[in-house]
Structure 1
Amino acid sequence: MKAKYFALALWALAPMLNAAPEVFTGTLGKLPVVVEIDADGDDATGRYFYEKFHKDLPLAGTLKGNQLVLAEGDPSAETPQAQLLLQRDGEGWAGQWQGANGKRLPVSLARAQIPPLPEGAGAFMAQQRQEAPYDYLRLLQTPLKPGKQSAFMGYSLQWLQEPVTGLSMPQLSSGYTDAQRQRLNAALRDRLLAEVVNWHSCQASGGSNFDYTQSVAPTYFSASVISLNLSTGYDCGGAHPDSGDAGLNLSVETGQELTLEDVLWLGQGPAKHYEQGSESKDFEALSQYRDDQFVPWVLKVFKRLHPADMKAPQSEDDCDYSDASVWDFPSWHFTDKGLYLGPYFARVMRACEGPEWSILPWAEVKAHPGAAKLALP
């Protein structure tokens, strides 16, 4: 079974081994830095950024007693690396940075004091302050900036852009009630900040090959939902670059992100809401439902609506949309014609993703309403 949760999957790339690494602030030479150190026995890893640049430099090395030696950069690099040579100093660290060319700079680090949440901060910032203070400190230092303005389906949009990564996300500046707009905009900001954290996690792991590009496209706005598609291409230091799409589908009434089962339900009895993600308590039940009810129905509908596209290919090099496994966990978003389902293929067949025809017409969707009981066209 292929499980695809691309939207936040890059989170796992953050260089942390434990749930609570230590975070410090201080100076390297004369420049302010924020440092995260995660010591596990004799091994230590971490990352740091200069407050001037806000981009991660990965760290890896050893902890022996009160002596910490951390190499900077890619640990597999064959060229000489800069090092942090530190010793415990109360609750902090003191020592020096030694460049590959022998240059030395003093380092002084104290345990970070985590500022309170700024006024108007959303749920994601609150979560970061509690669970990822290193990322929280960086987000505080790089506030979102207003960017372009646009319009979509009669709604005015003011885009927000994060200055370091260049990632952006729209905000609704017209339409809906004030309360609805406030909830939707908060959810959109939270998603942008989550994508920013993903970008930095990828950058820390990607080394010289790092690449991360993302486009965000509104696909459908109505009185019930707003829907966007996020297309991301990335090289985070793996064997090959990769890419993928992820829908962001929000309930206008609650501001909460909708699951596919909130919209479309093929199971027996009342529609269920499953928590998403491979680590959720519902994943086994969700996977079983997708295999037993959802995928067979999707194959049946698409074979009826698009028989030529759904034919089994004659060559293994051709796209096989009749393969049940590519529809288990599709990307999805709303369109003016219906519900778009994006099949998921292995990396070597990634070109098969994103067919234009794989839209479930509204009539098919409305015949099987999901848990959210949405008003659809």
Structure 2
Amino acid sequence: MKYFSLLVVFIAISSKVYLQKSCVLEGKVGNYPIVMWIDEATDKSNSQQKTSATYFYKSNRHDIELEGVWKTNDILILTNTDEYDSTIYEQFILKYISPNNWSGTWKNKKGKLQAIVFQPIDTLKYTFNEVPELDNLKAEERIYTKTRLSFVKLTKDSTTQFGKYVLDWYTDEISKISLFRIKSGYDSSTIKKLNYILAKSQFNNIECFFNCNSNKGEGQWDYNIYDYFINKNIISIAASISSYCGGPYPSVGDDNLTIDAVTGKEIKDLDDIFWFTKQKPLKEEDKNYYDYTEKRGNIIFNILTKLYPNEMKKPKGEDCDYSRPDPWQYPSWYFKPEGLFIGASFPHVLQACANPEFAIIPYKLLLPYIVKGKEYLLQH
């Protein structure tokens, strides 16, 4: 009797421990296969432990976010609820039976019921090796992300040429996100390094497209390349992102990518190659970082004012105002044949002012600011 009692207690404790951990499951809602990531319980202080989950249908792969609570008897209730009026769009009621056995029901807004059965995802069925950095993610996030990306199908839809460089363009069939790979123009080992960075950028935006959601299914993530430049030392891509992932209004911004073609590494920050203040740049976490960006912005502002005095004058009326240093404090940037393009920063309502066509610093004027050892980046 004592042995039996201990066994019952052990089973109960094992179940509770499992329920408090994250897991990735697969199953079906009706005839539609889905993958679900249930996060660990966030409030473990009482019998109704809060948690959250995200799932996608394999057919379209868009994230759908759920909020949930563990009830007694290992029952998990997950709901997709409107953030403004509390309308419930769908609800899962799941019974945890064992790590390999979950069952329950799904109900939509109209009350339609579907029986569901879940089991842990079989990771051997879904392979995605194009971006090895994903292996650095936490286990469940890695499994969930790599499972989804394993379904991505890139189609080569065109081949173009920039100078001596031949580019193959690939597009994802669902997100329509497109980016090129280098076919020729560099040696084979360099091409391999460059194409890896390009692939990582494309898959990152594809994953952002699937991550971006609202509970009404209105998520939007549009990635558009509007300019690019390639030479023996640099690959530089100017891209914009227009997104709406829930919240009060859409977002518009830049997602530029510049690669040092000599080292085969991405240049992630303007400060990595230019020291406009003539001293080692501060990092965002440093105490005086804001003062540093102010100083950098003033220097960029002064350079552009000397180059383009008319464009930098204070405008009449409500036109874009570039006559102050602060829009240049946190610049976007990319390389063009003529030099370094610098984008300004404006509030959301003035986003159309962010990329003035004139704001190019010629290569020869950049020489005093280039980091020692990186001078080759300014050579044509």
What TM-score, normalized by structure 1, do the two folds share? 0.84
| C-alpha deviation, 1:174, in angstroms | 0.9
Amino acid at match of 1:309: E
| C-alpha deviation, 1:167, in angstroms | 0.6
Contact 1:60–1:75 (Cα < 8 Å) also in 2: no
Amino acid at match of 1:100: K
Q: Which residue of 1 aligns with 2:252?
A: 243
| C-alpha deviation, 1:219, in angstroms | 2.0
Q: Which residue of 1 aligns with 2:322?
A: 321
1:128-184 CA distances to partner (integer Å, 9 max, x unpaired)?
A: 575432122100122433222222233111112222211111100010110111000
**How many equivalent residue pairs?**
348
| C-alpha deviation, 1:339, in angstroms | 0.2
| C-alpha deviation, 1:117, in angstroms | 8.8
Greater RCO (Cα-Cα under 8 Å, separation 6 or more): 1
Q: Which residue of 1 aligns with 2:146?
A: 136
Contact 1:98–1:104 (Cα < 8 Å) also in 2: yes
Q: Which residue of 2 aligns with 1:347?
A: 348
Q: Which residue of 1 aligns with 2:237?
A: 228
CA change 1:284–1:200 in 2 (3 A) is farther
Q: What is the RMSD computed on CA atoms of the aligned residues?
A: 2.6
| C-alpha deviation, 1:37, in angstroms | 1.6
Alignment of 1:1-377 (within 5 A): 21-38=22-39, 39-41=41-43, 42-65=49-72, 66-72=74-80, 74-76=82-84, 79-91=87-99, 92-115=101-124, 121-127=130-136, 130=139, 131-202=141-212, 204-205=213-214, 207-258=216-267, 259-268=269-278, 281=285, 284=287, 287-292=290-295, 294-315=296-317, 317-370=318-371, 373-375=374-376, 376-377=378-379
| C-alpha deviation, 1:119, in angstroms | 7.9
CA change 1:154–1:295 in 2 (3 A) is same
Q: State the secondary structure of the residue aligned to 2:310.
A: coil
CA distance, structure 2, for counterparts of residue 166 and residue 129 of structure 1: 28
1:309-346 CA distances to partner (integer Å, 9 max, x unpaired)?
A: 2223455x332213322112211100000000110100
1:12-34 CA distances to partner (integer Å, 9 max, x unpaired)?
A: xxxxxxxx843212222333210
CA distance, structure 2, for counterparts of residue 120 and residue 193 of structure 1: 11
CA distance, structure 2, for counterparts of residue 287 and residue 116 of structure 1: 48
CA change 1:117–1:71 in 2 (3 A) is closer
Q: State the secondary structure of the residue aligned to 1:183.
A: helix
What TM-score, normalized by structure 2, do the two folds share? 0.83
CA distance, structure 2, for counterparts of residue 264 and residue 214 of structure 1: 27
- Percent identity of the aligned residues? 26
* Structure 1 unaligned blocks of 5 or more: 1-19
Amino acid at match of 1:266: F
CA change 1:128–1:147 in 2 (3 A) is farther
| C-alpha deviation, 1:78, in angstroms | 5.7
CA change 1:312–1:152 in 2 (3 A) is same
1:38-63 CA distances to partner (integer Å, 9 max, x unpaired)?
A: 23223222221122222222222322
Rg bigger for which structure? 2
CA distance, structure 1, for counterparts of residue 125 and residue 261 of structure 2: 29
Q: State the secondary structure of the residue aligned to 1:348.
A: helix
